[in-house]
A and B are shown apart, each in its own frame.
Chain A
């Protein structure tokens, strides 16, 4: 009995060690490309493709960042393009929160004829992938003269079915007594929404805002269709153009990759609970 116990204890300990080993090796493999990006960004190009790869940069080769910012023509267009990305992602994020919480609140707390139908219609749009409607959308955008405009980049993404769903689920448990008390006090409906409902939906709003921001920051396909001029390009478009024109300098490429990722990395490190969160995760497919 005693021998059996020590044997199973030993097995258990071996299993634990193997699990730790597996996790650590997997973790290193996953992180290596990230380490590569950060170290290569600090190296001159000639060091990056040296064999074997010198993991530690000799000093910080800041020229990569400077040349990345300057761009091949010396116009500093990257700054403008980064600003475009911020404007588009920020606007989409803000309006997604606004429209989703409005609709979610309406569906959760008001009884009206056709409410179920409205809800089902909105849910049905989740089954229409963007990739299937991008060409017709593109034709509409052209006809409306929205090529190369912020409106063209932003407008198709303002309504987000998952956002409506998330806000409705969140608000359905909001206590009716509070809303009724405010009504009796004479508060108007828009005021109740903006002063009571919206401020108390913090975590759902944050999850949704980050989700919308990320999917726009990442977006390549729609900007490829809509944008023509260099001035209106977003960061992903800047990267594709830069690569096609000068895919010789690996150091600059990695410096641009780092600069393009900084906003997301900062968000991730400060607000990781809204990234690693089941509501946010199961939805990102709809981004």
Chain B
């Protein structure tokens, strides 16, 4: 179709294509590709943030140090506990909420907006609110005491290892539950009505309809939500940073990003911090690659 208008027009158009993509390409080269290559490079040196001496090449030392470091493995453990503890309840409950919202006739939009509303706040503000709720005199103790029928028990939300981990999970869960609910709602919304109607005519009840029709058709959305939630959880930083900043013990919630930050900024060990970054990158790379693959198959299945 374009060929009719001749060769020079084609060439001119091609040149304009390059003009349009060049600004972004330069930015990506400078702020994505260069830093990641640089991170690989730096992870083989023992650069100190404050020292003026040139960094010394240390080979795999940073990595062998990390693999032998209790502190690093504790961070890995903390991150895994947080990720699993957050993403599994998130996945299940957001699916349940979405199915429930789609099964009622009125107020669908209202519920979606209400559940989504915490996601509008910044994570720093969310942590701030929950710090007060988890105060020994705060709402968390009041609520749990009322629920358990106890009086004046302090559940130590911000001091004992298990409770502190649970607290960070609660904050995150609260902030993102609506977000994933909305994704599931749009997933259910894209299931053709004819399928549900056919199942209903065949005598399906609510449960069989969910189990044999909705859930299998939601598989791509479920995959997408799982991977997205996991990626989000692996990167968690703000809540843990805010809680430790407010005086909570660091060890139980010293997740990997917090560890990277402290290793670089408080201990000045740039090489060790970048080596940790590279390990995080490899894990997240795998997850993101999966996400891209899954979201592509989802597109196809909806057409």
Question: Which of B59-67, B84-92, B114-122, B155-163 is near enough to bind chain A?
Answer: B114-122
Instruction: Answer yes or no: A82 CB below 8 A from chain B CBs.
Output: no
Task: Decide if B260 touches A131 in the complex (CB within 8 Å).
Answer: yes
Instruction: Answer yes or no: B182 CB below 8 A from chain A CBs.
Output: yes
Taking CB atoms, residues of chain A closer than 8 Å to B245 are 240, 243-244
Q: How does the 8 Å CB contact mask read for A155-166 relative to B, with 1 for contact and 0 for none?
A: 111110100100
Question: Which of A48-56, A59-67, A70-78, A201-209 is near enough to bind chain B?
Answer: A48-56
Task: Decide if B38 touches A122 in the complex (CB within 8 Å).
Answer: no
- A122 interface neighbour in B14, B24, B278, Cβ under 8 Å: B24
Instruction: Answer yes or no: A36 CB below 8 A from chain B CBs.
Output: yes
Taking CB atoms, residues of chain B closer than 8 Å to A272 are 113
Count of A interface residues, CB-CB < 8 Å: 96
Task: Decide if B122 touches A236 in the complex (CB within 8 Å).
Answer: yes
- Majority secondary structure of chain A interface residues (helix, strand, loop or mixed): helix
Task: Decide if B288 touches A99 in the complex (CB within 8 Å).
Answer: no
Complex interface residues of chain A between 81 and 128 (CB less than 8 A to chain B): 99-100, 102-103, 105-107, 109-113, 115, 118, 121-123, 125-128
Taking CB atoms, residues of chain B closer than 8 Å to A26 are 97, 115
Q: With A and B bound together, what is the CA distance between A229 and B269 in angstroms?
A: 23
Instruction: Answer yes or no: A227 CB below 8 A from chain B CBs.
Output: no
* Closest chain B residue, CB of each to CB of A163: B24
Task: Decide if A118 touches B25 in the complex (CB within 8 Å).
Answer: yes
Task: Decide if B260 touches A30 in the complex (CB within 8 Å).
Answer: no
Instruction: Answer yes or no: A40 CB below 8 A from chain B CBs.
Output: yes
- B27 interface neighbour in A99, A113, A224, A275, Cβ under 8 Å: A99
Task: Decide if A103 touches B21 in the complex (CB within 8 Å).
Answer: yes
Taking CB atoms, residues of chain B closer than 8 Å to A189 are 16, 19
Taking CB atoms, residues of chain A closer than 8 Å to B34 are 140
Task: Decide if A33 touches B129 in the complex (CB within 8 Å).
Answer: yes
Question: Which of B70-78, B191-199, B224-232 is near enough to bind chain A?
Answer: B224-232
Taking CB atoms, residues of chain B closer than 8 Å to A110 are 13-14, 16-17, 20
Complex interface residues of chain B between 1 and 56 (CB less than 8 A to chain A): 2, 10, 13-21, 23-25, 27-28, 31-36, 38-39, 42
- B137 interface neighbour in A51, A135, A139, Cβ under 8 Å: A51
Task: Decide if A239 touches B20 in the complex (CB within 8 Å).
Answer: no
Task: Decide if A52 touches B142 in the complex (CB within 8 Å).
Answer: yes
Taking CB atoms, residues of chain A closer than 8 Å to B273 are 135
Instruction: Answer yes or no: A27 CB below 8 A from chain B CBs.
Output: yes
Q: How does the 8 Å CB contact mask read for A198-226 relative to B, with 1 for contact and 0 for none?
A: 00000000000000000001101100110
Q: A225-B265, A240-B242 are in contact. Are A133 and B289 (CB under 8 A)?
A: no
Instruction: Answer yes or no: B177 CB below 8 A from chain A CBs.
Output: yes
Task: Decide if A33 touches B130 in the complex (CB within 8 Å).
Answer: yes
Instruction: Answer yes or no: A153 CB below 8 A from chain B CBs.
Output: no
Taking CB atoms, residues of chain A closer than 8 Å to B224 are 282
Q: A103-B23, A123-B292, A129-B288 are in contact. Are A135 and B104 (CB under 8 A)?
A: no
Complex interface residues of chain B between 136 and 178 (CB less than 8 A to chain A): 137-139, 142, 174, 177-178
* Closest chain B residue, CB of each to CB of A161: B28
Give, as a whole number of angstroms, the nearest-CB distance from A196 to chain B: 14
Taking CB atoms, residues of chain A closer than 8 Å to B284 are 127, 129, 131-132
Task: Decide if A99 touches B24 in the complex (CB within 8 Å).
Answer: yes
Complex interface residues of chain A between 187 and 202 (CB less than 8 A to chain B): 189, 193
Task: Decide if A268 touches B292 in the complex (CB within 8 Å).
Answer: no
Taking CB atoms, residues of chain A closer than 8 Å to B250 are none
Task: Decide if B33 touches A282 in the complex (CB within 8 Å).
Answer: no
Taking CB atoms, residues of chain B closer than 8 Å to A3 are none
Q: Which of A16, A32, A100, A131 has the most CB of B within 10 A?
A: A131
Q: With A and B bound together, what is the CA distance between A157 and B32 in angstroms?
A: 10
Taking CB atoms, residues of chain A closer than 8 Å to B111 are 23, 27
Give, as a whole number of angstroms, the nearest-CB distance from B50 to chain A: 11
Give, as a whole number of angstroms, the nearest-CB distance from B135 to chain A: 6
Taking CB atoms, residues of chain A closer than 8 Å to B58 are none
Task: Decide if A236 touches B117 in the complex (CB within 8 Å).
Answer: no
Instruction: Answer yes or no: A253 CB below 8 A from chain B CBs.
Output: yes
Taking CB atoms, residues of chain A closer than 8 Å to B82 are none
Complex interface residues of chain B between 221 and 277 (CB less than 8 A to chain A): 224, 228, 231-232, 235, 237-238, 241-242, 245-247, 257, 260-261, 264-265, 270, 273-274, 277
Q: With A and B bound together, what is the CA distance between A161 and B25 in angstroms?
A: 10
Task: Decide if A257 touches B257 in the complex (CB within 8 Å).
Answer: no
Task: Decide if A193 touches B104 in the complex (CB within 8 Å).
Answer: no
Taking CB atoms, residues of chain A closer than 8 Å to B95 are none
Instruction: Answer yes or no: A247 CB below 8 A from chain B CBs.
Output: yes
Q: With A and B bound together, what is the CA distance between A278 and B179 in angstroms?
A: 10
B residues whose Cβ falls under 8 Å from a Cβ of A: 2, 10, 13-21, 23-25, 27-28, 31-36, 38-39, 42, 97, 100-101, 103-104, 111-118, 120-126, 128-133, 135, 137-139, 142, 174, 177-179, 182-183, 186, 205-206, 224, 228, 231-232, 235, 237-238, 241-242, 245-247, 257, 260-261, 264-265, 270, 273-274, 277-278, 280-281, 284-285, 288-289, 292, 295
A-B pairs with beta carbons under 8 Å apart, 11 shown = A23-B111, A34-B117, A34-B118, A115-B17, A125-B32, A126-B292, A127-B288, A132-B284, A220-B237, A243-B242, A272-B113
Given contacts A110-B13, A127-B289, A139-B270, 14 further A-B contacts (CB under 8 A): A23-B104, A30-B117, A34-B118, A37-B125, A53-B138, A53-B142, A106-B20, A112-B18, A128-B33, A129-B281, A218-B124, A243-B242, A261-B122, A275-B120
